[in-house]
Structure 1
Amino acid sequence: MKKLASSKIINVIFSLLLALLLAAYVLSIKNYSNSNSSNSYSSLVPQKKATLTVPLTFQYNSDDYVIVGGSSSVSVNVQGSSALVTAAKNHNDITASADLRGLGAGQHTVNVALSGVNSSLTAAASPQTVTVTLAEKNSAKKNVQVNYDESKLANGYSVTDTSTDVKSVTVTGPKTNVDAVSYVGADVSLDKNTKANVTQSVKLTPYDKDGNVVQASLSQTKANVKLTVSQSQSSKKVSLEVQASAGTASDYEISFDPSSVTIYGTSDTLSSINSLPVSLDLSNILSKTTKSVTLDKPTGVDQLSDQKVSVTITPKSSSSSSSSSSSNKN
């Protein structure tokens, strides 16, 4: 009986060991199968690489410093499934940043960090570090000056007036740059042979005294500008011509002071005017008379050098009588 019981115990132990070995074998086979299945699935998904250009932003104390010479973008190399890489290229939600917080004025080399990368993609910035300079911030108010190319105006035309809704802007940047800004230009683009008034929304640009662009930030980047374009004004001196509204001019000696005036207008208008008529009422003038006369501005004339002239009117009969009287006395 003891020998039989001992034999049963041995069989039970042997059965347990065999069961454990079978379980271990099945588990290893299952893991191997899953591993192969996963690898097979991965090998079936098409892989793709791409290089994206993404914006680069800087984190820094913008109240006290400005960035000098920093790049505005970096390249990002992405790799993964074709669908995810294509989606990244189409939407490009990836952004890059460089952290300069806590750093002072001077040149610094910092790492580029990426965000917005799908967890199933691998991505690396190129370059992985950027070198930028922090400069102490300065600002000053500068006047806006309207610029345009006079050679684009038609012959005989000129800009007689300019206006802009922005008179001055605040220029911000490194002190040396801000100090170098002489004015902020509102650059108007003209078509060839421009003859009409021009109204444009134009970009504002900081310039130094030599007309070179200065790297600086502006509180306002655009302005609305208007140019008044008209035919260039010419001038011409013309004599004064008596035009009697009453009486006969030939009965009088008439002189003007000044004897001629200068008229202003377009060359086309002035070419047809050789004298300026002065309307005079010669009725009831029996003796030498001097009076002031207001001149009429001819059509097309913009301006007269004199608005009024003095005219002296002497009756010829009176002059003859005076001469006879003087001879009789002698």
Structure 2
Amino acid sequence: MKRRMIVMKTLKKIIKFFRNLFRTIGSFIDRFIVTPVTKFAMFIGEKADKGAGKFERWLNKRNTLVFVSLLVSLLIFFYVDNQASTVIDSAAEVLHNQIVDVTYNKEAYIIEGLPETADVTLIGRTVDLYLAKQLSTGKVTADLSNLKEGTHKIELNYESPINSVNYKLDPSSITVNVYPKVSATKSITVDVINKDKLESKLSVQSVTVDKEEVIIKGTEDEKSIHNINKVATVKALVDIGELIDPTAGVNILKDVKLVAYDKYGNVVDVEIVPEKVTATINIESYSGTAKIKIIPKGSVAFGKAISSISSSVNEISIYGDQAVVSKYTESYIPIEVDVTGLSDSKSYTVVVPKPEGIREVSEKTITVKVSLGEEKSMEVDDIRIDAINLGPNLKAGAMGENSSKTTVIVKGTQEVLDNIDSTTIKATVDLSGLGEGEHTVKVNVTGDEVKASYFAKTTTIKVRITKS
């Protein structure tokens, strides 16, 4: 019952609200439409001649006045609605990064200061903006066809596909520099990149391109970024990574990019004719067999010496550039093992290094066993001291009696010492960077037997350096 009373009160309020609303609307129409129209009709009737009596009586009819008032109301409504729709429907749309289409004599001039893109703000009705965006004919243009050498300020234009749409450009005007175009001839050098993209057993033997020279075009103005006088070299960047399934033999790579550089290695923005070349790449799979030599590094425990060194393999297959492979097949590949503080025999798993120019080795790791014994020592007399790394046009001589020779202490197991050949022991002094005058230098000793250690009894000597 209580809920019903609440509903009834709410309905009464709603009915009262709409009654007041309609009363207000009726009062408004009567005051601002019916009454003015009636007065206007009365005025027309008073001014009319006697023959207009019927027209006056017609106008004085209530139905006629209501009809005329309604007609005027509708006219006012549609007019206001149309104006409001025009205002409400107006919008703006920004087209970002529109390419600037430039017209000028590209064979005769270089233009600097041109933006690649511009932003276009379209203003108009929503439906027109939608059509303008869908149509692809609109473009930003700059006409420089009548410009001569010098600095000029020009206006950008937008060719709109719909005339009812207005536009604004950002930037709307630009300042450009016009330079006369000049040309020169440059030789091509080849730069091979991404060699590591090849299969490990393959290597690049040689690369040639189908052009020896190209024409570069730009300006001669020092302030211009297109100055051809800054070009030191034009390189063909041969990217091995772009080869599809490269194999040993001849491989062809088309559309190799050409790039101009200054003397500092910076890219110079000039026109290059042709822009690209074709490269012929000779790839080889060169291999050989190289010996390995285990070289211990560091000192074993006190009183101990290395009695033997053995490895799981004594030679390996190597792949790489022919010259590098030949170098190591005629000598050996050194493999270092750290024996610092070693007090008992031990086996090591060692990674086989790949020297520069060697792309692949047959063994990735090897096992090295180092055996120890009791340390003994002996002395080898009269080892000549040689000077190394002396500068040009200089000569060096030892100062003091017997300074040109030294006694060398050799340490190792007795078996190792018994097989030492004194002719394989070398004593040297390094004179790198030393000029004329007297200098005290350190004596360094080495030997071919890696299981032994060598020490000069005379650790330093004095030398005099003079002009030769």
What is the TM-score when the length of structure 2 is the normalising length?
A: 0.40
In the TM superposition, what is the alpha-carbon distance from 1:213 to its structure 2 partner?
1.2
C-alpha distance in structure 1 between counterparts of 2:54 and 2:209, whole Å? 100
C-alpha distance in structure 2 between counterparts of 1:115 and 1:99, whole Å? 12
Q: Deviations over 1:198-250 (max 9, x none)?
A: 5433222222233321111223322222322325699x9xxxxxxxxxxxxxx
**Any idea what SS the aligned residue of 2:147 has?**
coil
Alignment of 1:99-248 (within 5 A): 99-149=143-193, 152=196, 158-176=203-221, 177-191=227-241, 199-200=252-253, 201-231=255-285
Match of 1:245 in 2: none
In the TM superposition, what is the alpha-carbon distance from 1:117 to its structure 2 partner?
4.0
C-alpha distance in structure 1 between counterparts of 2:228 and 2:261, whole Å? 10
C-alpha distance in structure 2 between counterparts of 1:180 and 1:270, whole Å? 43
C-alpha distance in structure 2 between counterparts of 1:179 and 1:222, whole Å? 21
Q: Deviations over 1:259-281 (max 9, x none)?
A: xxxxx878379949xxxxxxxxx
Task: Give 1:134's aligned amino acid.
Answer: V
Retained in 2: the 8 A contact 1:143–1:184? yes
Q: Deviations over 1:92-129 (max 9, x none)?
A: 43211223343332222211111134223222110111
C-alpha distance in structure 2 between counterparts of 1:187 and 1:65, whole Å? 28
C-alpha distance in structure 2 between counterparts of 1:127 and 1:15, whole Å? 70
Alignment of 1:69-84 (within 5 A): 69-84=113-128
**Any idea what SS the aligned residue of 2:228 has?**
helix
In the TM superposition, what is the alpha-carbon distance from 1:140 to its structure 2 partner?
1.9
Match of 1:56 in 2: 100
In percent, how many aligned pairs have the same letter?
21
**Any idea what SS the aligned residue of 2:239 has?**
coil
Q: 1:11 aligns with which of 47, 50, 57?
A: 50
C-alpha distance in structure 2 between counterparts of 1:15 and 1:142, whole Å? 104
Retained in 2: the 8 A contact 1:153–1:195? no
Change (3 A) 1:130 1:27: farther
**Any idea what SS the aligned residue of 1:215 has?**
coil
Change (3 A) 1:103 1:214: same
Retained in 1: the 8 A contact 2:152–2:177? yes
Task: Give 1:212's aligned amino acid.
Answer: N
Alignment of 1:267-286 (within 5 A): 267=325, 271=329
Match of 1:239 in 2: none
C-alpha distance in structure 2 between counterparts of 1:222 and 1:205, whole Å? 9
Retained in 2: the 8 A contact 1:148–1:187? yes
In the TM superposition, what is the alpha-carbon distance from 1:136 to its structure 2 partner?
1.3
Retained in 2: the 8 A contact 1:147–1:185? yes
C-alpha distance in structure 2 between counterparts of 1:179 and 1:162, whole Å? 28
C-alpha distance in structure 1 between counterparts of 2:71 and 2:89, whole Å? 27
CA RMSD of aligned residues (A): 4.4
Retained in 2: the 8 A contact 1:198–1:229? yes
Correspondence 1:94 to 2:154:
no
Q: Which moved more, 1:87-96 or 1:107-116?
A: 87-96
Select the structure with the greater relative contact order (CA < 8 A; seq sep ≥ 6). Answer: 1
Task: Give 2:160's aligned amino acid.
Answer: G
Change (3 A) 1:15 1:125: farther
**Any idea what SS the aligned residue of 1:188 has?**
strand
Retained in 2: the 8 A contact 1:52–1:89? no
**Any idea what SS the aligned residue of 2:79 has?**
helix
C-alpha distance in structure 1 between counterparts of 2:120 and 2:50, whole Å? 66
In structure 1, list runs of 5 or more residues that go unmatched: 1-8, 20-24, 237-263, 273-330
Change (3 A) 1:59 1:28: farther
C-alpha distance in structure 1 between counterparts of 2:70 and 2:218, whole Å? 72
Change (3 A) 1:188 1:34: same
C-alpha distance in structure 2 between counterparts of 1:104 and 1:46, whole Å? 42
What is the TM-score when the length of structure 1 is the normalising length?
A: 0.55
C-alpha distance in structure 1 between counterparts of 2:194 and 2:87, whole Å? 68
The runs of at least 4 consecutive aligned structure 1 residues that moved more than 6 Å come to 13-16, 25-31, 153-157
In the TM superposition, what is the alpha-carbon distance from 1:90 to its structure 2 partner?
5.2
Retained in 2: the 8 A contact 1:67–1:134? yes
Task: Give 1:162's aligned amino acid.
Answer: V
